[in-house]
Chains A and B, each alone.
Chain A
């Protein structure tokens, strides 16, 4: 079975691995209520949750990829590709939105397939494989658009800006996707296989699992999730922007790491990543609210990553 459910004895290690990040989130919220009470304004919260959802949707894919001991640096490229394809194919016409999203999903799936094939069939390390795919995707975008993206984003896509209080459409999509993938990871055989492949690929193969197929499927899913995030981001911005996804790829890795997902695979999960996403976004928002230089948020992110992995390491030793 998966994770901490395997035994009734809840050791400190298991407690920390499961809930440590939520304790950290709680402490952060308490601190924020003292030093930046504005964080809890309805408007600030709405923006915070919207940004969390955008990052969170890619982080779902990144977490699954990391669970099979992989990494996907091409997600940012997929988001920009989505934004261009949606504008190009629909050219501002509402009735073409489904078609444009479908085209983006197909292209996204192909990029994921490319990642997966390079990693499994050619045994290229994931870092390098997804990186060269990113360069290829960026190159193709430039060649296709000649540097100036054309087409228009249909107005109806602005529906993603709809919100009721802080409950916005992106937030609901994030929740829904988390629910779907939590079930996928925890209940279905596919989910158990993902953990099996990540913990020990050799053992997984010897017990008859098709390691290659599982890995390829995970990379395709990660790319498709990036497409969904891209559609939301495009609707939000309302035009095509080459820099729409800047930083999101590394942030998605950071969110998964802070949430307790390990680079070497098999360890971690979506519940941790949700908290990781929220911690990163709350800290970024606090930097702004405190009136600090916006660039200091990079320093804080780095320190949070170090602190998180150090604590996970300590917890592991303790047990």
Chain B
């Protein structure tokens, strides 16, 4: 096999995702004047930051052959806790942000602890956590609660060089995750743990520590997503975060990450996030009837996963 076809095969999923994104952009530019404007494109990127921040964390966990089903509930809890702590007072911002991030990190470390020490499967632990975090959130409130401080709220609309600062922030998060995965020993170990757990253990990789790392970061990024929502909503709305984990998992998988661990790239996940976000945006910009847009979205999702073509090693591992 030539190197080139090897490259194509290895990255076929990513190519598929970006081709789909390209098709959406082309359709959008042809059918709407508003679509290909700086304003709309930066708006899409800002929206992508919400799903993307959560999805990057989910990806780290999935790379270790784990899963985190609780991030939607954690985003919900984070937005409530941060809104209550901030309570509209600018002096409380640092404290609220700090405690919310600590809450996120704590939840993630607890997940890793249960998986490591009680030998429970990631699916079960985070499935239970989904219920518990949702229960805590809804026991706190079922109506909007708390208030963002004004400065914090303004961060959502603030721009630098015509681009919302949230987009820069998302870029930074993406680069940090990419750096972590590709340039550090931790990143190599993440792939190793997901690729073959037994081999990883035998070769002395500190599997438990890696789990603390990925689940900690995943939940931390979910807490960050909660803070981004507070910036956008200005209040702690318990509706936020509903089914976020499901969309994040779809973005990660459509982006070519194997749910069986060991395979996946940041580039692919960003492609998956862009595909989902552009789909939403395009349906709005084109003025597609809101009742039909759900159907169109469903068809695009099914088409995207039906194009799923697992590599050879993947087939051997799961067939």
Most A CB atoms within 10 A — which of B135, B136, B253, B310?
Answer: B135
Contact assessment for B291 and A128 in the assembled complex, using a CB-CB cutoff below 8 Å: no
**A32: CB under 8 A from chain B?**
no
A63 to chain B, nearest CB (A): 15
| Number of B positions contacting A (CB below 8 A) | 50
Stretch at the interface among A6-14, A96-104, A306-314: A306-314
Q: CA A159 – CA B114 in complex, angstroms?
A: 47
Q: Which A residues touch B319, using CB under 8 A? A: 123, 201-202, 205
Q: Contacts A123-B310, A142-B291, A305-B127; is A299 near B132 (CB within 8 Å)?
A: yes
Query: Looking at chain A, what size class is its interface with the partner chain?
Result: 35 or more
Let me know if B249 and A295 touch, CB within 8 A.
no
Digit string of B44-62 for contact with A (CB within 8 Å is 1, else 0)? 0000000000000000000
The B-contacting residues of A in range 230-265, CB under 8 angstroms, are 250, 253-254, 257, 263-264
The answer on a CB contact under 8 Å between B139 and A137 is no
A295 near B142 with CB under 8 A, answer yes
Of the residues A142, A254, A299, contact of B136 by C-beta under 8 Å: A299
A297, chain B: closest CB distance, angstroms: 7
- Asked if residues A143 and B315 are in contact (CB atoms below 8 Å), the reply is no
What sequence of 0s and 1s flags, for each residue 246-269 of chain B, a beta carbon within 8 Å of any chain A beta carbon?
A: 100110010000011000000000
Tell me the smallest distance from the CB of B314 to a CB of chain A, in Å.
8
Segment at the interface with A among B26-34, B83-91, B115-123, B220-228? B115-123
Min distance, Cβ B222 to any Cβ of chain A, angstroms: 17
The one of B131, B259, B308 that contacts A127, using a Cβ cutoff of 8 Å: B259
For residue B109, give the distance in angstroms from its CB to the closest CB of chain A: 16
Query: In the bound complex, do residue A297 and residue B291 qualify as a contact, i.e. CB atoms below 8 Å apart?
Result: no
Closest CB in chain A relative to B317 CB, distance in Å: 10
Chain A binding site: helix, strand, loop or mixed by DSSP?
helix
Cβ of B259 and Cβ of A128 under 8 Å apart? yes
A93 to B92, CA, bound (A): 61
Within 8 A of A (CB), among B92-149: 114, 118-121, 123-125, 127-136, 138-139, 142
CB neighbours (8 Å) of A125 from chain B are 253, 259-260
Within 8 A of A (CB), among B286-306: 290-299, 301-302, 304-306
Given contacts A124-B308, A201-B319, A310-B118, A135 and B128 within 8 Å (CB-CB): no
In chain A, positions 245-296 with a C-beta closer than 8 Å to chain B are 250, 253-254, 257, 263-264, 293, 295-296
Q: CB of B318 within 8 A of chain A?
A: yes
Contact pick for B131, options A133, A264, A301, CB 8 Å: A301
Residue B295 contacts which of A136, A300, A303 (CB distance < 8 angstroms)?
Answer: A136
Asked whether any CB of chain B lies closer than 8 Å to the CB of A60, the reply is no
Contact A128 B253 (CB under 8 A): yes
Do B128 and A118 have beta carbons less than 8 Å apart? no
Cβ distance B285 to chain A, nearest Cβ, rounded Å: 18
Nearest residue, chain A, Cβ from B122: A263
Q: B135: which A residues are within 8 A, CB to CB?
A: 295-302
Q: In angstroms, how far is the closest chain A Cβ from the Cβ of B124?
A: 5
Q: Is A51 part of the contact surface with B, judged by Cβ < 8 Å?
A: no
Provide the bound-state CA to CA distance between A202 and B249, in Å: 27
Which of chain A's residues have a CB closer than 8 A to the CB of B131? 250, 254, 298-299, 301-302, 305
Select B298's contact among A123, A127, A140, A254, beta carbons within 8 Å.
Answer: A140
Q: A118-B306, A136-B301 are in contact. Are A250 and B119 (CB under 8 A)?
A: no
Question: Would you call A78 an interface residue if the criterion is a C-beta within 8 Å of the partner chain's C-beta atoms?
Answer: no
Complex contact A137–B298 (CB within 8 A) = yes
Q: Say yes or no: A302 contacts B129, CB within 8 Å.
A: yes
Cα-based distance from A114 to B266 in the complex (angstroms): 30
**Known interface pairs A297-B135, A313-B118. Does A139 touch B308 (Cβ–Cβ under 8 Å)?**
no
Q: A199: CB under 8 A from chain B?
A: no
Residue pair A131, B246 in contact (C-beta under 8 Å): yes
Q: Please encode chain B, from 172 to 191, with 1 for each CB lying within 8 Å of some chain A CB and 0 for all others.
A: 00000000000000000000
Which of these, A136, A299, A301, A313, contacts B119 with CB under 8 Å? A313
CB<8 Å pairs between A and B, sample of 20 = A122-B305, A123-B314, A123-B315, A128-B250, A136-B298, A140-B295, A142-B292, A142-B294, A146-B291, A201-B319, A205-B319, A295-B139, A298-B134, A298-B135, A299-B132, A301-B131, A302-B131, A305-B128, A306-B125, A310-B120
Q: Which 6 A-B pairs rank lowest in CB-CB distance, beginning with the nearest?
A: A298-B135, A136-B298, A302-B131, A139-B294, A299-B135, A302-B132
